[in-house]
């Protein structure tokens, strides 16, 4: 993003998915990664999207969406679990930095979801603060099981949808911005093998099928 105008939520989503398409097809452009961009954004940042994703090392946002410096305001936790500090960070990106798009990014083979399934289904226990992560993923796993889901991909998608719902339900700031069309929140599920991000949830953005993958 090189212009100074704030994109609409739809435009921001299109930019993000276009970058993912370039990455997945092996044709990245590596935009906004030079000295000129570094100097341009030194006084202030205006990211076009807030990306809340899993901390997994295979999920580097600027790489898989083919973006550069100042494009994305990134917040990451294991299993994209959310607490007050995370929600505050997301609100900061959307309301203070005026980012028109909030993205929840999950992925297949997520260790946090797998560990939570093991805890729920087999009674497997963990030590330390990892238990807190599992407790926060548990509602998603229980909802998926109640719906009769068994495929790993379905559990991942349900957890992404649950996180989108938490953000929009708990944050009055984001709910108000969605209502006025200033901000949209979407949930994506990333596939590690082919590098594509698939839409699984959307709030405040009517996404045509051709833009959903």
- Which tens digit of pLDDT belongs to each residue from 108-120? 999 999 999 999 9
Distance, CA of 172 to CA of 94 (rounded, Å)? 12
Beta strands per DSSP E along 19-65 = 49-54
**CB proximity list for 157: less than 8 A, separation 6 or greater:** 106, 187, 189, 200
Distance, CA of 137 to CA of 112 (rounded, Å)? 7
pLDDT averages per 10-residue partition of the chain, 213 residues: 75 98 98 97 97 96 98 98 97 98 97 94 90 96 96 96 97 97 97 97 81 55
Query: Scanning the structure block, which residue is given the tokens 């946002």?
Result: 61
């Amino acid at each position: 993003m090189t212009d100074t105008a704030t994109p609409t939520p739809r435009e921001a989503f299109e930019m993000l998915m276009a970058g993912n398409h370039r990455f997945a097809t092996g044709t990245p452009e590596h935009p906004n990664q030079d000295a000129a961009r570094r100097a341009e954004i030194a006084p202030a940042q205006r990211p076009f999207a807030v990306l809340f994703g899993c901390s997994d090392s295979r999920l580097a946002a600027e790489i898989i969406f083919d973006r550069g410096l100042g494009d994305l305001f990134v917040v990451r936790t294991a299993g994209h679990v959310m607490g007050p500090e995370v929600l505050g960070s997301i609100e900061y990106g959307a309301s203070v930095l005026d980012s028109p798009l909030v993205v929840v990014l999950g992925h297949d083979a997520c260790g946090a979801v797998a560990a939570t399934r093991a805890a729920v289904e087999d009674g497997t226990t963990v030590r330390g603060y990892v238990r807190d992560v599992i407790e926060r993923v548990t509602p998603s796993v229980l909802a998926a099981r109640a719906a009769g889901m068994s495929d790993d991909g379905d559990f991942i998608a349900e957890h992404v949808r649950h996180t989108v719902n938490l953000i929009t339900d708990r944050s009055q700031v984001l709910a108000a911005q969605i209502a006025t069309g200033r901000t949209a929140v979407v949930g994506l599920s990333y596939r590690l093998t082919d590098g594509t991000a698939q839409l699984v949830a959307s709030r405040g953005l009517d996404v045509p099928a051709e833009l959903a993958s």
